[in-house]
Structure 1
Amino acid sequence: MPTYPAGHTALLFVDPYNDFLADGGKLWPRVAAVAESVGLHGNLKRIVAAVRAAGLPVFIVPHHRSEPDDFAGWDHPTPYQLGTAKGQVFAKGSWGGEWFPEFAPQPGDTIVKEHWGGSGFANTDLDFLLKQKRISHVILVGLIANTCIESTGRFATELGYHVTLVRDATAAFSPEAMHAAHEINAPSFAHAIFTTDQLLEALQGVNA
């Protein structure tokens, strides 16, 4: 089991928006079945509490908040981007684009610049901010397993970070997508793929 060095480990919480996590959110109906099957909300609460108790920093890694003309004139918007724009998911100024209250940033947390695609690193300041905090180990939680979590985790590995995924602290639109993310794709890049219980065990003894 890997160890998580105090002062060099951070939690990356990806996309903690109402549209993903709240009843009534635009994407909640698509992730609800998988989220409920793994106990997503309860596991996220446990992880955030343990990370804060250990004095580890929390980085909020948010998706771009949609605006109506986001991709006007773009040469190569992806189908995912166009679908998000059409549905105005995480719309700027909307309830759905606000933080889910239980996971809203707290004083001392770092809010990263919004990402336009899947990766929390691409075209943002995440790598710069992690390096300024001397972070070498990142733990990824949030939404969703086979897009932003996977893309951010792959990018982190390419940049030289130690990457931990938590299989029951994320969700996807289908069990098949969750399976692909954790059982097929993740072993090619993640250094650890834990359950919440395994992560909390590994975090025991971490002192800030």
Structure 2
Amino acid sequence: MTSVYDPTRTAVLLVDPYNDFLSEGGKIWPLVEDIATEVGLLDNLRDVVAAGRGAGMQVVFVPHRRWQEGDYDNWDHPNPTQRLIAQRHTFARDTWGGEFHPDFQPAQGDVVVKEHWGQSGFPNTDLDFQLKQHGITHVILAGLLANTCIESTGRYAMELGYHVTLVRDATAAFKPEMMHAAHELNGPTFAHAIVTTAELTDLVTGKR
């Protein structure tokens, strides 16, 4: 199975690694803290990114739209998440909460794609274009949230013909039921592999 992750054809997609999600004091951190702590989210995200970089894989940042004044004004049908963003000013542009967590900063050679407005990282962005230009056929998803942006991006990737890997402990959600749905109910309908960080690291480093 190691051959599945040809480093020249594989990208780690790091979804929404903002301070608001991942840092103490972030606006959304209190909602994910329990599950993030339980699964060891931050350490696992560090390990996934390090393993990918160590193997020579492409690392791609897939950021959500950073809120700014006027967003969603006069929209016909903003979704529930967008309504909450408009209320909370989540990931506000030019604020600490809208910056990437200090441990997850783009390095030379990384790609930062255009910000997504909804839950999938593909519509209205250059993610598919960038992956194709870098010869990517396999994507490994990590980041937030398991049952929204990770799931939506993974489903869309599958529809576009990519091989999709979910890392079950390199993500989090607001409730255990959401994690269960993401990995036990919904993930198996579109993902080609659902692994732990330890399993992924072993596969990437050739230990399996």
Aligned pairs (5 A) from 1:1-208: 1=1, 3-205=4-206
Query: Unaligned 5+ residue runs, structure 1?
Result: none
What's the offset of the Cα at 1:80? 0.8
Quote the Cα distance in structure 2 between the aligned partners of 1:50 and 1:28: 25
Q: Which segments of structure 1 move beyond 3 Å, counting only runs of 4 or more?
A: none
Deviations 1:86-140 (A, max 9, x none): 1000001110000100011111110000000000001100000000001000000
Task: Report the CA distance between 1:202 and its aligned residue.
Answer: 1.0
**CA displacement at 1:68 relative to structure 2:** 2.5
| Shift of residue 79, structure 1, vs aligned partner | 1.1
Q: How many residues align?
A: 206
Classify the secondary structure of the residue corresponding to 1:168: strand
Amino acid at match of 1:181: A
Gaps of 5+ in 2: none
Q: Secondary structure at the match of 1:166?
A: strand
Structure 1 vs Structure 2: percent identity of aligned residues? 61
Task: Write the distance in 1 (CA, Å) between the matches of 2:49 and 2:155.
Answer: 22
Residue 6 (structure 1) shift:
2.5
**RMSD of Structure 2 on Structure 1 (CA):** 1.1
TM-score with structure 2 setting the length: 0.97
Deviations 1:49-93 (A, max 9, x none): 111111111000000000121011211111110111110000011
